[in-house]
Each structure stands twice: as C-alpha cells, then as structure tokens.
A and B are shown apart, each in its own frame.
Chain A
Amino acid sequence: MDYLNALVAFLNFVFVPGLAYGAQLAIGALGVTLIYGILRFSNFAHGDTMAFGTAMTIIGTNALLALGITFGPLPTALLALPFGIGATILLVLFIDWLVYKFYRDQKAKPVILVIVSMGVMFVMNGVVRFIIGVRDIQFADGERFLITARDFKEMTGLDEGLAIKTTQAITVVVALIAMALLFWFLNKTRTGKSMRAFSDNEDLALLSGINPDWVVKVTWMIVAALATTAGVLYGLDKSFKAFTYFQLLLPIFAAAIVGGLGNPLGAIAGGFVIAFSEVTITYAWKKVLVYLLPENLEPDGLVQLMSTDYKFAVSFAILIIVLLFKPTGLFKGQSV
C-alpha cells in the first residue's frame, strides 16, 4: 500500500481538475443566480453570453498578438479580458433594452421571461457562430505548466506525478478575486446593498426609493463580467467551442439550483459540488486503488462508475437528490 502515491494520483486526476472546473462553474452559476435573484427569471442565454464574451476575448487576444503584445508566461487572453467584458456588457445592456425591458414593463410572469431568454439564447447562439465559427479554438498561450508531472516526480521521487496547468492555477486565482470583489460589492457598497434589498423584497425596495432601472443595469453589467470571466477561464483550461458553451448551461444551472437560486454563496458551493461529483463519478479510479489495495484485491476493470459521456446525468442526479431533501437548495435560496 502506498498512500502517498495514491494521494498524488488523486490530486492530479481528481482534485486539481475538479477544483478548476468547479471554480469555472461557480463563476458561471453566480451570473445565473444574480439574474434569478434580481430580474427574477432563469436566464437560458447565460451559456451563450459566456460564449460571446469568450469569442470577443479571443478576437482581442488575436489583435494583441498581431501587435506583438503578449503577457509573458501568462495567457494573453487575460490582457484581452477587459475588452471582452466591455463588449459583453454593451451587448447584454442592448439586449435588455431591446427585449427584456418590454416584458418587464408589462410585468410579465417569470415563465414568460424564461421563454424569452430561450429566444435570446438561440439568437446569440447564431451570432457567436457567425462571428467566430463553429470549430474548436485553442487560445491559451504562455507557459503551459506551473509544475509538470516530470518535474514533480524528480522533485519528490514518487512514481506518480502532479501536474498543475497554468490555466488551472489562473482559474482558481481569478475566481477567488472575482468572488471577493463580488461579495465586497454586494455587502459593502450602497449599490450592492440596494441590489440585495431589491432581490429580497422588491416592493419595499421601491418604497425605499431604490431605482429599479439602475439596479437592473448594474446587475447586467456584473453578470456580463462574470459570464465572460467564466467563459474565458473555461476556454483557457480546455478550449473554446460554441456548442460546448451552450452545453455548459446544464451544469451551471444545476450548480445554481443545488446551491439555492438567488443565493451567491450557494452558487459557489453548488459549482464545486457539481464539479467534484462529475469528476469523481466519471474518473477511472483504478490508478488510485492500485496504490491503496493489497495486490490480490487489485481491480481488473477501470473502476469508472460512469463514462464521461454521462457527466451531465451526474449533475442532474445530484440536483434531484439535493432538491428532494432541501427544496430551496443547500443554502437558503428563493423558492422556485
């Protein structure tokens, strides 16, 4: 038995990828949960907002590279991120003005807004593919690894290597910064508090003189920033493909709902719950178990509970299990 190698294999294949994926889902789910809490509908166009932001960031990255500007060992996309965020903010404010405002003024029911957001989703779906195409795009440059598996093996003398990709480290760091900024904003600033008040009790917020138009605008801006950040981090870590981002909607919604819709803390927790359950259930545990079990008990198969093709099923199984026991999510969310 070799606990150390088992631990390293676990960290390398389950924990580190799960942590990065969880952080990406968490930032995505924060956007969904903010829209749900303040505009009071489930925004199906969120995945495509992420795709649009990422597409814009890729265009910005290419422009920077063409000018010969890089970010040294870090991906150039981080330099282009503010541009991507800016473009996405303009887009979502435009869509809000063009589409959602009309339904808001009519005091349309949330379910109508959900369907409207599906329409927006399909339009954005097309727009993004039109702009950047349907193919798989790798846009991560700079140093690929923080620690490579071989360096780790040489350093520690273990059989198993622990590789940490730069993009994984960046994901976690950027996610932490984004979350810290968001919570500081929501809990400490006047506008942030007024957003929470608006989410908590709309009528009373109006009575208190909180301007709903401003709250809605700021919400869209924050959501655009979060969506673009989540999309870029995911794209750096894996790759960008419009269709993948559309599919990301599923685990992101699962994360937001598991955590409790409308609750930012819940969105973060939900992101990690979904990510770790997906990774642990679709991972072939043989490698770890080989170190842990005595030789005669060594598994023959891969010990993979489910093929990775079923990873979305995992999200939804977790979603159903959590909602059966806690109908408003792990953290107190608004009831759906």
Chain B
Amino acid sequence: MSDPFLIGDAMTGGYGKGPDILHGCTIAAEKGEIAVIVGPNGAGKSTAMKAVFGMLNVNSGSVRLDGEDITRLTPQERVVKGMGFVPQTSNIFTSMTVEENLEMGAFIRRDDFRDTMTQIYDLFPILKEKRNQAAGELSGGQRQQVAVGRALMTKPKVLMLDEPTAGVSPIVMDELFDRIIEVARTGIPILMVEQNARQALEIADKAYVLVQGRNAHTGTGKELLADEEVRRSFLGG
C-alpha cells in the first residue's frame, strides 16, 4: 500500500521534557478525504494533531507529507511545505479586519493572492460582507470561518483543524461541517480533531479513535458508527 498523503507514523512523544503522551500513535489523511480524530477527554487528540504539525517532540516515529519526511521541521517550515493549521483557540487576529486576517494568512506568498481571497469569500459569503470589520467583533461561528479562511490563504496541500466547532451552537456547527465538506471537495485533505464525535464520524471518510495516546479503533466513519464497542464507549449507546 502506498503512503497516504499526510501521515504521522507510529508517533511517540510529549511536550518538552515531560512524559510521553502519545504511544505509537498513527494518523493519516488521504487526498480529498476528511480524517477525524475522536476520543474521550485527555486521550491525546489535540496532542496527536500537534505532533503531526511539529508542535511537540516526536521521540520515535515519523511524519511524512507527500512522501517527504518532515519530522524534524518546525511548524513554520511545515506551513511553507503546504500544511495549513487552525488552532483551537486564539486562531484569529482579533484587532484586525477580516480582510487583513486573510492577508496575514497569505503572508508567505509573494504572488498575487486576490484569486484565493475571492475563492474564500465565495466559500464563506458572510466574510465578504464583514470584510472591513474587526474579526474580534464577529460571532463564534464567523470567527471560525475567518480562522479556516486564514489557513486556506496559503493554498495548503492539507488542512488541519483542531476542534473547529468548540463552543459554537449546534446549528452553527452543522453549517461549519458543511463548509468543511466543501473544502474537502476541492481536493484538500482534511485532518480534524472533534469533540462532537457522532457528527464528526458522520462526515468522516477515515476516523481514528484514540484512548490514552494509543490508536484504539480505526476505520471509515460509518464503520466506527456501527461498531458496537465504539458506540458504547464514546457515543453513549
């Protein structure tokens, strides 16, 4: 089997000199697919994603993007390589306008990025309407759209979202998921950590259930939804 587009392979590691949080954890995303990481609180979901993005020490195992080993690169270097990352919190420049947020997203690009901005405004029409407003004045759901839009400005080859629906209402959550599916349809693989396991599994092409930093279950979203054990342990029956 050929390597997936993005893979964090058998990663073991933790923050700084602290104890290991991940133990041989493997996470991958294929082109045009949505991969989600779910699991109970403290399972290392966000940690696994941060490991893939280079924000903590991976002591063993490797991270590969499009066949290239990027395990030793800094997060900034990974952005240049084509990884887009939307952190869970503080993921926008609150004092800057929506448009300036998008411009900052495109900071590493030296070419004309107006086309990309137009595409993002097409994807998130509300942002076009509010483009001259300070991003900090927007609602939670709109902020998340700014955050995703900012990450898309580099035209990333893969997009990583850390709990994009944290703290938004169920209606806004559905809308955000719709948008994420749209982004995936443009061919960008998406790796996403989600708290709302059921909804996330419904849209997932590939899903990873982590427990205590280890892969507990892996499969398509539908398989895991149907899996008796997964249902019992994480989805409440």
Contacts and interface: CB of A to CB of B under 8 A. Distances in A.
A206 B75 contact: yes
Given A200-B95, A201-B90, A193 B76 contact: no
Interface in A146-176: none
Interface in B51-110: 75-76, 79-80, 85, 87, 90-96, 100, 103-105, 107-108
Given A201-B90, A204-B93, A207-B85, A193 B80 contact: no
Given A194-B107, A201-B90, A203-B90, A208 B96 contact: no
Contacts of A193: 96, 100, 103-104
Contacts of B92: 201, 204
B104 A208 contact: yes
B49 to A, nearest CB: 13
Interface in A193-238: 193-194, 196-197, 199-201, 203-210
Residue with the greatest number of chain B CB neighbours at <10 A, chosen from A190, A197, A199: A197
A332 B93 CA distance: 15
Contact of B150 (A190, A208, A332): A208
A7 B43 CA distance: 73
Contact of B104 (A203, A210, A332): A210
Contacts of A205: 93, 104
Given A193-B96, A193-B100, A196-B96, A210 B90 contact: no
A207 B100 contact: no
A204 B93 CA distance: 8
Contacts of A196: 93, 95-96, 100
Contacts of B100: 193, 196-197
Contact of A200 (B80, B87, B93, B107): B93
A131 to B, nearest CB: 40
Interface in B137-156: 150, 154
Interface of A: 190, 193-194, 196-197, 199-201, 203-210, 332
Given A197-B93, A204-B90, A208-B104, 13 more contacts: A193-B103, A194-B104, A196-B96, A197-B96, A197-B100, A197-B107, A201-B92, A203-B90, A204-B93, A205-B93, A207-B76, A208-B107, A209-B154
Interface of B: 75-76, 79-80, 85, 87, 90-96, 100, 103-105, 107-108, 150, 154
